[in-house]
């Protein structure tokens, strides 16, 4: 089985050939990568699911799509924990009309809710990069949208996988779910800023309250589609040198295993 890094190395080699001849061009090729690890309870997973469904059906989202150069985007979706949830992938769909957005949101809403062990952000990044590389659509921008509530503690370390994806021309943005304390001592938003996001204009939006989740998801999707950078009051942007311990999740898991 290929490692996460091997997948990313193959993706970076493919990047120069995208867009491929005859591929349909869209403003953004967007992968939604949603955390369903067991550190999240069913309430959080439900809130997360509802937030994406509501955002995809919102007029503000559709307006952002229509205001693009071609007025269309391509979107896909999957769930992840220690690995990618096998039956969770919703394949690429072009969103150009309100009905397109409703149809995709309905597919997401119909997904059964479940949780899985561990948290592998690196696997989520590799899966998103692979899906973009194999997409039949050529995005002027290529974005992996990762939402999660904890640091990487499984699979390859995040930094080298993130860097390979960025080298391949992808942007990785984050939604840090901070409804409860995480295992990141510096704060999960700081961890995502320093260790997960990357690429031109990359950003992370923190969510601290249940009632803010749907609005945060909608704002995040609108910003990603529009190619805009959120104001500093809404985000944390990664510095060139990581401040967080990007191996904190792996160390904590090893400490637990050694007890």
3 domain residue, yes or no: no
> Is residue 6, in this structure, part of any structural domain at all?
no
What's the domain count of the chain?
Answer: 1
Distance CA 50, CA 152 (A): 24
Average pLDDT on 146-159 reads: 94
pLDDT, average across residues 99-111: 96
pLDDT in tens, 180-216: 887 788 899 999 999 999 999 999 999 998 888 889 9
CA distance 59 to 49: 18
Residue 131 covered by a domain: yes
Q: What is the pLDDT of residue 258?
A: 58
- Tens of pLDDT, residues 58-85: 999 999 999 999 999 999 999 999 999 9
- Residue-number span of the structural domain to which 173 is assigned: 24-258
Confidence of residue 47 (pLDDT cuts 50, 70, 90): confident
CATH code, 105: 3.40.50.410
Q: Does some domain include residue 9?
A: no
Domain presence at residue 11: no
Residue 14: inside a domain = no
pLDDT digits (tens, 9 = 90+) for 217-245: 999 999 999 988 777 666 665 555 568 99
Query: In percent, how much of the chain has pLDDT > 70?
Result: 85
pLDDT at res. 233: 64
CA dist., res. 229 & res. 3, Å (int): 33
What mean pLDDT do residues 36-43 have?
83
Q: Which residues contact 51 (CB under 8 A, 6 or more apart)?
A: 213, 214, 216, 217, 218
d(CA 33, CA 91): 12
Residue 8 placed within a domain: no
The answer, yes or no, to whether residue 164 has pLDDT greater than 60, is yes
Q: What is the mean pLDDT of the chain?
A: 86
Whether pLDDT at 173 is above 90:
yes
- Check pLDDT > 70 for residue 23: no
In a domain, 19, yes or no: no
Burial label for 233, CB within 10 Å (0-12, 13-18, 19+), is: exposed
Provide the pairing of β-strand 137-148 with 73-80. unpaired
The predicted pLDDT at position 18 comes to 39
């Amino acid at each position: 089985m290929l490692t996460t890094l091997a997948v990313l190395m193959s993706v970076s080699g493919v990047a120069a050939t995208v867009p491929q001849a005859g591929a349909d061009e869209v403003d953004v090729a967007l992968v939604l990568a949603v955390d369903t690890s067991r550190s999240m309870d069913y309430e959080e997973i439900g809130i997360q699911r509802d937030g994406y469904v509501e955002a995809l059906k919102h007029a503000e989202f559709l307006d952002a799509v229509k205001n693009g150069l071609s007025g269309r985007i391509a979107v896909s979706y999957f769930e992840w924990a220690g690995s990618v949830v096998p039956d969770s992938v919703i394949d690429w769909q072009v969103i150009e009309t309100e009905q397109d957005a409703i149809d995709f949101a309905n597919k997401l809403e119909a997904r059964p809710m479940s949780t899985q062990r561990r948290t592998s952000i690196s696997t989520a990044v590799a899966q998103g990069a692979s899906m973009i590389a194999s997409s039949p659509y050529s995005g002027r921008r290529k974005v992996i949208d990762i939402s999660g509530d904890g640091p990487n503690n499984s699979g390859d370390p995040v930094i080298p996988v993130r860097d390979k994806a960025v080298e391949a021309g992808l942007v990785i943005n984050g939604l840090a779910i901070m409804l409860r304390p995480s295992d990141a001592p510096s704060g999960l938003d700081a961890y995502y800023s320093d260790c997960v996001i990357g690429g031109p204009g990359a950003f992370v939006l923190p969510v601290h309250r249940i009632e803010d989740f749907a609005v945060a998801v909608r704002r995040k999707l609108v910003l990603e589609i529009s190619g805009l950078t959120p104001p500093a009051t809404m985000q944390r942007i990664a510095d060139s040198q990581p401040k967080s311990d990007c191996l904190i999740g792996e160390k904590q898991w090893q400490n637990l295993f050694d007890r």
